[in-house]
Structure 1
Amino acid sequence: MSSRSPEPPPPDDTHFGFRSVSESEKTPLVRGVFRSVASRYDVMNDLMSGGIHRLWKDAMVDWLRPRPGWQVLDVAGGTGDVSFRIQDRLDGQGEMYLCDLTWDMLSVGRDRAIDQGRLHGLHWICGNAETLPLPDRSMDAYTIAFGLRNVTRMDQALAEARRVLKPGGRFLCLEFSQVVLPLLDRLYDLYSFRLLPALGGMVAGDRESYQYLVESIRRFPSQEDLVQRIAANGLEQVHYRNLSGGIAALHSAWRL
């Protein structure tokens, strides 16, 4: 299979991996992917990245520098990896709001929280990044890790991030991106398209969902293009850092 992305979908459509679908179809399709993989999601993350995703998430929280007393929204928070890290930095002084599209992912996260004795300061929200069920100017920080590429209307999700942030609030996005090292990009391409779907089939019993995840990474904007998208939706002082040669990237911005 070629790693080249197909032509952009028609204006009234969007993409689901390399497929063109109507906007009304994409959210149910994405929800189906994460319902299918929820129980094996954390195991697959470790296997797919060799555990490096943990270092990326640590880097994200280090750059965020959460402060006690903050109200933090973690969108596409899934099974709690980023939220738990932030909660530890808040040291019992502040509130975490973990929002995800599927109850299946949230259920895994809540079970993990209970097992770790995290009984207070976590709020679980099943919701869409494009229509967040939260008041205007209510959050000190907004984080999203490996979720922005799955939304149907990225600009709407970015506008919602700005809406819920307080003036002076921080936006931070961790996402797979475009590899910037010539040799690494070829190796990563081979690994992604040949091995990851097969691994998903063996471990999670769902090759198709991991094929979609690989394709969605290829369709995601480049680092510089995402800077422009974030800025166009009203967030300011946008910067990014490449991680692991651009396999992933962190984008930071502020609501001023």
Structure 2
Amino acid sequence: MALNRSAEPNATPEALPIGAVGGNEAGRTASFGFREVPLGAKQEMVDDVFHKVADRYDVMNDAMSGGLHRLWKDAMVSRLAPPRGGRRPFSVLDVAGGTGDIAFRIAERADGHARVTVADINGSMLEVGRKRAGTRPFGDRIDFVEANAEDLPFESGRFDAYTIAFGIRNVPRIEKALAEAYRVLRPGGRFLCLEFSAVDVPLLDRIYEAYSFRVIPLMGRIIAGDDDPYRYLVESIAKFPTQERFAQMIREAGFARVDYTNLTGGIAAIHGGWKI
């Protein structure tokens, strides 16, 4: 495995035991990169990271992945396959998608038939997305809402699909975010999550680890003027559950037909499930 995942798959600091939601959180901690911080402090620390990088977020994604993130996002939207017609708009909630990358793809793939709500807890990221929406096809079919993935301000059973790309590892209580995803989906609704994962190709794992810890923070310093946010992002990837562990968490949230597909040797993975 890549990125020093020695703590996996037995436990993750972000999650309660699988299937447990709520409980006594006194004394609980969460991982902020390789640091353990009080559970209640993580969200503010993550917010600070994304306030700092919002204006350069998409540029850095291209630089860090060599443009691969675009292909990965395209693959997730292709798997979603939003319909291009029907009696009503296809309703999608894209969580942690502030700059609009996934929402724009869905709206364009559906020829405007999809209505996408982007929910992000970070106002700076949402502001970037709103500005971009004004220049994109079907930008008027996208709504931007400041919201917490752990406590979504939407009624139960509202959406046909829930997507989240490269965001769930930043949520302090992943199990709560998964429970909320299940709640807001209609019966028959689709859950799709694109996230960095555990490389499963010999040699590639070592190359990827060296690149992540040595090159990406340097890119952050050069391109965005600050390496600390990108050091955190790399560390957060290392602390995220393996593919099998995360798939189990999705099942325990209530989803059926859970599976995952590795991309580029496991550097990223698309996880899917259905609310039956």
TM-score with structure 2 setting the length = 0.89
Cross-structure match for 1:4: 4
**Which residue does the alignment assign to 1:219?**
239
- Decide whether the 8 Å contact of 2:27 with 2:38 is kept in 1: no
Q: Distance in 2 between matches of 1:170 and 1:143?
A: 8
Find 1:184's aligned residue among 166, 184, 204.
Answer: 204
Q: Which residue of 1 aligns with 2:160?
A: 140
Q: 2:146 aligns with which of 126, 137, 158?
A: 126
State how far apart, in whole Å, the 1-side matches of 2:130 and 2:240 are: 29
In 1, the alpha carbon distance for the partners of 2:5 and 2:32 equals 12
| Deviation sequence 1:95-144 (CA, Å, 0-9, x none) | 11001111100111111111225442111111110001111000000000
Give the structure 2 partner of residue 232 of structure 1. Answer: 252
SS where residue 102 of structure 2 aligns?
helix
Question: Is residue 138–residue 166 contact of structure 1 (8 Å, CA) maintained in 2?
Answer: yes
Q: Give the structure, 1 or 2, with the largest relative contact order (CA under 8 Å, sep 6 or more).
A: 2
**Letter of the 1:33 counterpart:** V
In structure 2, how many angstroms separate the alpha carbons of the residues matched to 1:25 and 1:197? Answer: 23
After TM superposition, give the deviation of residue 5 of structure 1 in Å: 5.2
The corresponding residue for 1:110 is 130
Correspondence for 1:48 among 32, 55, 64: 64
TM-score by length of 1: 0.96
Q: Given that residues 82 and 114 in structure 2 are in contact (C-alpha distance below 8 angstroms), is that contact kept between their aligned partners in structure 1? A: no
Is residue 144–residue 173 contact of structure 1 (8 Å, CA) maintained in 2? yes
Per residue, is there more helix in 1 or in 2? 1
Aligned-partner SS, 1:175: strand
Range with greater deviation from structure 2 (84-93 or 43-52): 84-93
Closer, same or farther: CA 192–119 of 1 in aligned 2, 3 Å: closer
Contact kept? 1:5, 1:18, Cα under 8 Å: no
SS at match of 1:182: coil
The answer for unaligned runs of 5 or more in structure 1 is none
Q: After the TM superposition, which residues 162-181 of structure 1 pair with which residues of structure 2 at under 5 Å, given as runs?
A: 162-181=182-201
Percent identity (aligned): 53
Find 1:25's aligned residue among 41, 60, 83.
41
Counterpart Cα distance in 2 of 1:182 and 1:212: 25
Q: What's the C-alpha RMSD, in Å, of the aligned pairs?
A: 1.6
Q: What CA distance in whole angstroms lies between the structure 2 residues aligned with 1:249 and 1:88? A: 23
